[in-house]
């Protein structure tokens, strides 16, 4: 596929004339819109977007990536308007702050003729985006449970710390529970720790006070896992083969896995670098002979001591 | 993600040492294995693989793409062995001839430490491939039915020509029927025409002799559609708004849509160029800061007069 704004506009008008592309701006303009770094994962996402911009612009001198981060949904909606009216983008890569308030603004960008790539969070209305790039929440739960089953035996006990009550959290939890079923591993309790370090610490303290025999913890998230590890250390319950499984791919977690951390021996990938993957495929829509459209659902790769360094970006904030 | 064969081998041994990559061959070697051009779609696939090779090797001087096409499953299995033992590939892109006989050979490539990208046809055992790139068969059926619903009214009659009896054909057919249900459009009959021009001609002749009032034809495939159009023309039944919907993205079909063909006004994309998309993402595994893993399911885009030229490759054999 090889499209430019001019071609698209002409195409909509029914008069396809490649020679008219001489009237178009020389550069292929791709807007990239995402939230400001309000938390660690988003900070990593911002960093990876900037890395991808440098890499792709060096590779393709005729591609101009225009990065804009926004502090809230209405600011992001305004940014999208500007990307169309001021920058006249040929394509948009967008990680929506929230689904509902960004659906109409993204639809308006689509109406301008731009190719639309949505990342991580879907819009409220199906069919707007040309390409959807996202992590795999059910697989994150399933891969975590498979690791638990490989390490634990019939009769062993685990506790689960969940995220913010959302579809994402439900998908992860339901897939974990479905995979663990029939293994004989007991889930003593599960509570929401809201993908937050402090909540992770408090929930884990509660679990430790109520359950004298815990063999492992599914923390689901690297921030929660930091709180869990602190609670385990404070209570002196890090021995007897105890281990914690987080998720996301925080750089400190990955480095410590590479170094052989026994308390947190693995992690499950849900990487902020997915914004870079989305930028790659969007640029490919203008440069490749292969089609670019559909759903690219990234794998929830198990990070172990063996492969950890492949996922380690020491300069990233996350 | 940034990996090389040497890094992987070292990582499996537990000794991650980036400096040791000096021992590795300088080039990133990616094997690309697929069937020889036994039919038109496969010929297009061969052509697009070669185009992608030229494009990607010009873009990345340190990437060596090694293309091998094979006439049957056992020849493809041998080719895979050679890609490991002779070429010592870092990654494999494979479109398996058949699922069952290629599963163990691909598993052996994976055991060598190579990244595995599977295209179009899955393997018999889940979890072998790192990345899966494929068309969307249910969506092909759904998109075709949506177009029919937009053109036809309650009480109108259609006939359906199906492919070779396979999972692919069932997925397309079932999704089409689910989407058409409740529309009031009558499906007079459906018969297998095996993705073949001659069978398409014969089945359509039969339909024409049995049903005096047919408003449209879902041929599902561009080869079948050629036979259907020939039968319609021979019977003088191309008027009264009759139209045929095929599928795949054959270049003659696309060109004729762009030129305003009323008998075949649209097509649904299931493109042989997907091999190029798979090569793009596999190269990205070595070059991008974004993760490359999971399932990339291409959209079944509706090709209309307006967008047809985006999908037209005049030099391709398909």
Domains and CATH numbers, chain B: 25-135+272-298 (3.40.50.2300), 137-268 (3.40.50.2300)
Round to whole Å and give the CA distance between B67 and B121: 18
Q: What percent of chain A has pLDDT over 70?
A: 92
DSSP string for A21-84: GGGS-SSEEEEEEEE--SSHHHHHHHHHHHHHHHHHHHH-TTEEEEEEEESSHHHHHHHHHHHH
Among residues A2, A1, A8, the alpha carbon closest in space to that of A84 is found at: A8
Interface check A19 vs B, CB under 8 A: no
Q: Which strands sit side by side in the sheet containing A91-94, from one edge to the other?
A: A63-70, A28-35, A91-94, A115-119, A131-134, A294-297, B294-297, B131-134, B115-119, B91-94, B28-35, B63-70
CB proximity list for A95: less than 8 A, separation 6 or greater:
A33, A34, A35, A45, A118, A119, A120, A121, A275, A278
Give chain A positions within 8 Å (CB) of B274: 290-291
Residues of chain A found within 8 Å of residue B313, distances taken between Cβ atoms: 289
What's the sign of the alpha-carbon dihedral A152, A209, A238, A141? positive
Q: Range with the lowest mean pLDDT among A18-22, A120-124, B199-203, B212-216? A: A18-22
The mean per-residue pLDDT over the stretch B37-57 comes to 93
Please state, in angstroms and rounded to a whole number, the distance separating the CA atoms of residues B214 and B212: 6
- CA-based nearest distance B277→chain A, Å: 4
Instruction: Indicate if the pLDDT at residue B12 is higher than 70.
Output: no
From the list B288, B291, B297, the residue facing A269 with the nearest CB is B291
| Residue B4 clears pLDDT 90, i.e. is over it | no
pLDDT for residue A20: 38
Record: contact A1-B55, CB cut-off 8 A: no
pLDDT band, very low/low/confident/very high, at A35 (cuts 50, 70, 90): very high
In sequence order, what are the beta bridge partners of B248? B269
pLDDT band at A25 (very low <50, low <70, confident <90, very high): low
Chain B 103-132, CB below 8 Å of chain A: which residues?
130-131
Provide the shortest C-alpha distance from residue B52 to chain A (in Å). 7
Cross-chain Cβ contact A310/B14 below 8 Å: no
Residue A229 near residue A264, CB atoms below 8 Å: yes
Given a cut of 60, whether residue A282 has pLDDT beyond it is yes
Tens-digit pLDDT profile for residues B213-258: 999 999 999 999 999 999 999 999 999 999 999 999 999 999 999 9
ipTM of the predicted assembly exceeds 0.95: no
**In contact, A220 and A175? CB cutoff 8 Å:** no
Tell me the CB-side half-sphere exposure of residue A94, using CA atoms within 13 A.
Answer: 32
CA B161, B167, B168: angle at the middle one, nearest 5?
60
pLDDT recorded at residue B147: 98
**Contact check, Cβ <8 Å, B275/A290:** yes
- Per-residue pLDDT of B126-160, as tens digits, reads 889 999 999 999 999 999 999 999 999 999 999 99
Chain A residue closest in CA terms to B51? A289
pLDDT band (50, 70, 90) for residue A14: very low
Yes or no, beta carbons of B2 and A310 under 8 Å apart: yes
As a whole number, mean pLDDT of residues A52-75 equals 97
Q: How far apart are CA A149 and CA A145, in angstroms?
A: 6
User: Is-contact B1 A311, C-beta < 8 A?
Assistant: yes
Average pLDDT over residues A76-92: 98
Report the pLDDT value the prediction gives residue B25, as an integer from 0 to 100. Answer: 61
A176-233 tens-digit pLDDT: 999 999 999 999 999 999 989 999 999 999 999 999 999 999 999 999 999 999 999 9
Q: Name which of B256, B276, B257, B211 is nearest B237 in CA terms.
A: B211
pLDDT of residue A9: 38
- Interface size between A and B, measured as CB pairs under 8 A: 140
Chain-chain contact of B290 with A275 (C-beta, under 8 angstroms):
yes
Q: How far is CA A158 from CA A212, A228, A241, A249, in A?
A: 11, 13, 12, 22
Retrieve residue B178's tokens.
Answer: 């689910």
Q: What gap in Å lies between CA B105 and CA B103, rounded to an integer?
A: 6
């Amino acid at each position: 596929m090889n499209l430019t704004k001019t071609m698209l506009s002409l195409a909509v008008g029914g008069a396809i004339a490649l020679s008219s592309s001489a009237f178009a701006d020389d550069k292929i303009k791709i807007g990239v819109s995402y939230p400001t770094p309000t938390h660690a994962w988003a900070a990593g996402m911002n960093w990876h977007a900037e890395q991808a911009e440098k890499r792709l612009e060096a590779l393709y001198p005729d591609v101009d990536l225009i990065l804009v981060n926004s502090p809230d949904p209405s600011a992001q909606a305004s940014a999208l308007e500007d990307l169309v009216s001021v920058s006249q983008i040929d394509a948009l890569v967008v990680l929506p702050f929230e689904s509902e308030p960004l659906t109409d603004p993204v639809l308006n960008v689509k109406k301008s003729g731009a190719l639309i790539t949505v990342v991580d969070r879907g819009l409220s209305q199906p069919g707007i985006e040309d390409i959807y790039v996202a992590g795999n929440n059910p697989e994150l739960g399933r891969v975590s449970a498979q690791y638990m089953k490989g390490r634990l035996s019939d009769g062993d006990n685990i506790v689960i710390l969940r995220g913010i009550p959302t579809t994402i959290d439900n998908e992860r939890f339901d897939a974990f529970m479905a995979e663990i079923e029939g293994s004989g591993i007991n889930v003593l309790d599960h509570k929401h720790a809201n993908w937050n370090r402090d909540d992770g610490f408090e929930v884990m303290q509660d679990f430790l006070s109520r359950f004298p025999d815990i063999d492992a913890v599914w923390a689901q998230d690297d921030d929660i896992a930091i709180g869990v590890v602190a609670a385990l250390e404070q209570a002196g319950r890090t021995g007897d083969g105890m281990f914690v499984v987080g998720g996301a791919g925080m750089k400190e977690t990955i480095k410590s896995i590479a170094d052989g951390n026994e308390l947190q021996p693995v992690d499950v990938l849900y990487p902020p670098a997915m914004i870079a993957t989305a930028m790659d495929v969007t640029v490919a829509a203008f440069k490749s002979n292969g089609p670019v459209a559909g759903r690219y659902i990234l794998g929830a790769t198990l990070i172990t001591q063996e492969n950890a360094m492949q996922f380690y970006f020491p300069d990233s904030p996350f």
